[in-house]
Structure 1
Amino acid sequence: MRSGPLVAGILAGLVGASFGCGTPHIATATGTRRIVSLAPSVTETLFAVGAGAEVVGVSQYCDYPPQVRRLPKIGSFITPNIEAIIALRPTVVIGLLTSSDLREIHALQAMGIATLMVDDGSVAAIEASIEKIGNKVGRSQAAHNLAGQIRSQLSGIEMRLAGIQPRPVLMVVGHQPLVAVGPGTYLDELLMLAHGRNIADFSTQSWPRLSL
């Protein structure tokens, strides 16, 4: 979720604003919940809804909030390390449908490890994913409140920007190689919400590589 100043201010910042409102460990039927997160946005959501203390492992790209950097790493969200995940004895593994290797997820499921794969393809999908994650980790009300807060603040932004002429914008999410936000992504949706006109919307790819 931390893919640029605009997004940090609109969506990631809304999630981050909820840090510190957590609740203690919640005991499950078999003991304390142990969560492995496969993506930065999942990790941030878990902390935002108050389940941060139950996160026992994260992807190598997870670096927020700061305490996440001390947690064991289980590889990338595209190719997670199965052995590293199993060693953490998770009660649930949570990742993204759009970026995870589903073969690895199926392998975890075959071993009897609970998984939850959520969608981040649009703002509406992200809001739904927050609630799904909250339901999975026993933080339904906190997740519902967070999703509602995001919807409310995004609506407020739309109202404040009503009538403003869209400006051409290029959002870059990678530098080597140069990767931009393309059409049909949630970042493209946020650009439009912020009255930006994505100059990379000509591409047929969601994350086009550009040359200077």
Structure 2
Amino acid sequence: MLSVASFAAAEVEPDSLARCVIDDRDRKVCLEAPAQRIATLSPGATELTYAAGAGEQVVAVVSYSDYPPEAKEVQSVGSHTRMDLEALVTLRPDLVIGWITGNPPEQLETIEALGLPVFYIEPRGVDGVASVIERLARLAGTESVGQKVADGFRKGMSQLKERYAHRDPVPTFYQVWDEPLMSINDEHLIGQVVQLCGGANVFGDQQRLVPRLDDEAVLAANPEAIIAAGMGEENRHWLTRWKQYDELEAVAQGNLFFVPPSLIQRPTPRLLEGTKLLCEKLETARERR
């Protein structure tokens, strides 16, 4: 019923019923008809699929797929790092949404070898999030819903950029993890959000997308604001460690901020809400000067 085609020999005619998109691995993925049974292999993929208007077609998710709430009722086939392939195949998905850097490559290769179409995602920018929604909607036959959501996301992010991007820079340390201590560089989606809000990422020039650090590196960078997300919605204790360093500008100014990770660390439409919160935190830091 379904196929993933390279189309090296021929392109689909414009009036064909096939639905073709390019995924984030630059592969052409084609379905003969809109997907009716979708498996999403990361919490972000689940949320994006629902945002694209295809929530009713989702038959399999992985652990921590907790948004929207109805996603909790869908059968889980393991975690994003280790799926139960037998359970997945039993659910007969006609489209699998894979996470390029988050799912085990060998498991995704096995899924493809079984003849299941895999659409790989890895949004690396604001437009990448909107684009994934549009492409998922194309594969699911929910274009009108997906387009509306994508357009609204682009518009909201553009408005925030226009409002905050050119304000006085706030040297910012974004803590993406606690043990080991980790941040993000300017190429990371969160790094782009920091810039959009008028922040100057103190580790933005690091080569690694998610560099590992130590307390001494943060002390040397001396950020004016520290923003932590935590592992859960209330892991505010990540900020407590910095209060021992009175010499930090962020501590002296009281600029230790928390943003719920589900709003800022998942590349989904809720990133708009997380960006708004982050921009407001940096604006508070400006006001305290």
Report if TM-score (shorter chain) is over 0.5. Answer: yes
Q: Secondary structure at the match of 1:108?
A: helix
Unaligned runs of 5+ in 1: 1-27
CA contact (8 A) 1:38 1:58 kept: yes
| Corresponding residue to 2:96 among 69, 93, 97 | 93
Partner of 2:125: 122
Contact conserved, 1:37 with 1:95, CA < 8 A, in 2?
yes
- CA shift for structure 1 position 136: 1.1
**1:151 and 2:150 are equivalent in the alignment:** no
Partners in 2 of 1:46 and 1:74 — Cα distance? 17
**Partner residue in 2 for 1:203:** 206
Q: What is the aligned counterpart of 1:35 among 29, 33, 38? A: 38
The Cα offsets for residues 41-69 of structure 1, whole Å up to 9 and x where unpaired, read as 21112222222122122121322122222
Asked if the contact 1:181/1:208 (under 8 Å) is kept, the reply is: yes
**Secondary structure of 1:131's aligned partner:** helix
Change (3 A) 1:186 1:54: same
- Structure 1 residue corresponding to 2:191, chosen from 188, 192, 195: 188
Q: Equivalent pairs: percent with the same residue?
A: 28
Matches of 2:77 and 2:175, distance apart in 1: 26
Q: 1:58 aligns with which of 61, 65, 76?
A: 61
List runs of 5+ in structure 2 lacking aligned partners: 1-30, 216-289
Partner of 1:3: none
Deviation at 1:31, TM superposition (A): 10
- Counterpart in 1 of 2:171? 168
8 Å CA contact 1:39, 1:62 repeated in 2: yes
RMSD: 2.4
Contact 2:52 2:134 in 1 (8 A): no
Partner residue, 1:131: 134
Matches within 5 A, 1:98-113: 98-113=101-116
Does structure 1 conserve the Cα–Cα contact (< 8 Å) formed by 2:41 and 2:99? yes
- Closer, same or farther in 2 for the Cα pair 1:91/1:100, shift >3 Å? same
CA contact (8 A) 1:35 1:56 kept: yes
Structure 2-normalised TM-score?
0.58
Bigger Rg, structure 1 or 2: 2
- Number of residue pairs matched? 185
Does the 8 A contact of 1:183 with 1:204 survive in 2? Answer: no
